[in-house]
Amino acid sequence: MKEWKKELAKSGVWVLFISHTIKILAFLSTIVLARLLSPADFGIVAMATAVVMLVEMLGDFGFHVYLVQKKDLQKEDLDTAWTFQVLLAVAQGLMIIGAGGYVASFYGEPRLAPVFYALGATVFLGGFRNIGIVSFQKDLKFHLEFFLRVPSKVIGVVTSLALAYIRGDFWALILGISSQRIAEVGASYLLSPYRPRVNFQKAGELFRFSKWLYMNTTFSFVLQRSPDLILGKLAGQEALGLFSVSHSVATLPTSEFADPIARATFPSYVKIRDDLSVLREGYVKVLSLLAFFSMPMGVGIAAVAHVLVPVLLGPKWVEAVPLLQMLALGGVLKSLQSNAPSIFLAQGKPWAVTGLWGVKACVLLGTLSIFCPRAGALGAAWAFLVTEALISLLVLGWVFQSLKISWQAGLELFARPCAAAGFMYVVVTAMGASRLVERLPAKDGWTLALLVLVGAASYLSSVLGLWVLSGRRRSTPESWLWGGVKSFLLDPIKGAWN
């Protein structure tokens, strides 16, 4: 049990570090690019990447998940997965190139056609990535994944920024995507000594498991890109660019925290899946961490959105404020669901994930069809928030039942961070309307810094206060935080005193 905790903690630190680095690079580049490019440029890229993701989804069978969860992994498994990875990439690349003219005609945007030629070539080359890197996740060697993903991201960001400054159009984004993907292929062979060969021996076993993952990927595409496809057609590229950038900024902090945790916990859950009590304990601890950190992040963004948008994106993005507020709250609910697929996949139940995401896709399409025709980008944000609220109840209920967690125990995980986040929202909103803020120089920048500090202080003080009133329960995020504070502040004093 202790060994599993150490492995999970170490893996979590590395994955969080990788994800933080990549997301920070992406966030900073988005801020700079938003000032160099127009919303229409982002809209064109969103239109193209939505279709590219659709094509990639058609060939994504989740081979890496099959390889990670397989106990007796053999060379034939790796070679077979790599062979089909390459074949599918060839087919995808040709489909994307062939679709360019049709998509450009559909949207009435002739500039889209050459974009698809570039992205099709990128997908084709990306299919040759070394399958041996799956061992980074399977063996919890996430330090190697850092050198796979981060330098490639840096190359992509530098390419985008340089071309945005030189050209000032959407090609900066497209070529940035391409350079990152190609750099990652090269790094995969430098970092992994494994050299794949063509092999079809394990095709039957591979596709028996991966058929469910294929369906999961299909639903995942609907969940991620249906707002882009529907909004782009109904409201045009300006509204789509507004929603796309707002979604990226609003959900960045919560996804930055939740997605790496899901990636780190999956191989750990695989190792302890045969012991229900240990698996339950691990999931509860992870869920408590998600609630403790994601709630103040999302609620905080909603509270400061009116200041955050002009500071980070500039005055031409002011219409993004209400979108940012709703999308940030939806991001909190989404983060609470993020660890559920890891539980089901570790238990060998990919069909459970398929069922959950299938229902979620249907709900999202329904809400988009109701809200988007009436309110455009704002309607898409409402659809996202309503969908995440409804599906959170379904996802958590199913996992609780599977792991035999009572609803009372589950609600206790959320009570303190939820109440503290609500208190933080009230304090930050009141501070934002106070006369003190009006007296600040360079109002927007100083206001944002002040509100963030006030929000952090109010959340931490209130959540720790509620923890003390509840009896200082152990094995909670508050107890870990308090233990760290005491060690940092009191241990040096005790040592000097003694």
Cα-atom radius of gyration of the chain, to the nearest Å?
23
312 and 343 within one domain: yes
Q: Which structural domain range is residue 292 located in?
A: 2-405
DSSP state of 167: T
Q: Which residue, of 405, 436, 457, is where some domain finishes?
A: 405
Instruction: Evaluate whether 266 touches 7 at the Cβ level (below 8 Å).
Output: no
Buried b (16+ CB within 10 A) or exposed e, 379-407: bbbbbbbbbbebbbebbbebbbebbebee
Q: Do 359 and 473 reside in the same domain of the chain? A: no
Tally of structural domains, the chain:
2
Q: Which of 405, 426, 452 is the last residue of a domain?
A: 405
For residues 397 and 419, membership in a common domain is answered with no
Using the 3D structure, point to which of 339, 373, 405 is the last residue of a domain: 405
Q: Give the Cβ contact number of residue 486 at 10 Å.
A: 11
Query: At 476, is the secondary structure helix, strand, or coil?
Result: coil
Q: How far apart are CA 325 and CA 335, in angstroms?
A: 16
In sequence order, the 6+-apart residues with CB closer than 8 A to the CB of 213 are 60, 61, 62, 65, 66, 350
Q: Contact 40/239 with Cβ under 8 angstroms?
A: no
Tokens of 475: 């094995």
One domain, residues 349 and 412: no
Alpha carbon distance 159, 37 (integer Å): 14
Q: 186: Cβ–Cβ under 8 A, 6 or more apart, which residues?
A: none
- With 0.85 as the threshold, say if the pTM is over it: no
Which residues are CB-contacts of 453 (< 8 A; sequence separation ≥ 6)?
none
Residue keyed to tokens 């931490």: 460
Whether residues 344 and 476 fall in one domain: no
Instruction: From first to last of the 498 residues of the chain, give the pLDDT tens digit.
Output: 455 556 655 666 666 677 668 777 887 887 788 778 877 788 888 888 878 877 887 777 777 777 877 777 788 888 888 998 899 899 999 999 988 888 888 878 788 888 899 999 999 999 899 998 888 777 767 778 888 888 998 999 999 899 888 888 888 888 998 999 999 999 999 988 989 899 888 888 777 777 777 777 777 767 776 777 777 777 767 777 788 888 888 887 777 677 777 777 777 787 777 788 888 888 888 888 888 889 999 999 999 888 888 888 877 788 888 999 999 999 999 988 888 888 888 877 878 888 888 888 889 888 888 888 888 888 888 998 999 999 998 988 888 888 888 888 878 888 899 999 999 999 988 887 665 555 555 456 778 888 889 999 999 999 888 888 887 777 777 777 766 655 555 555 555 454
Do 357 and 487 reside in the same domain of the chain? no
- Same domain (yes/no): 415, 395: no
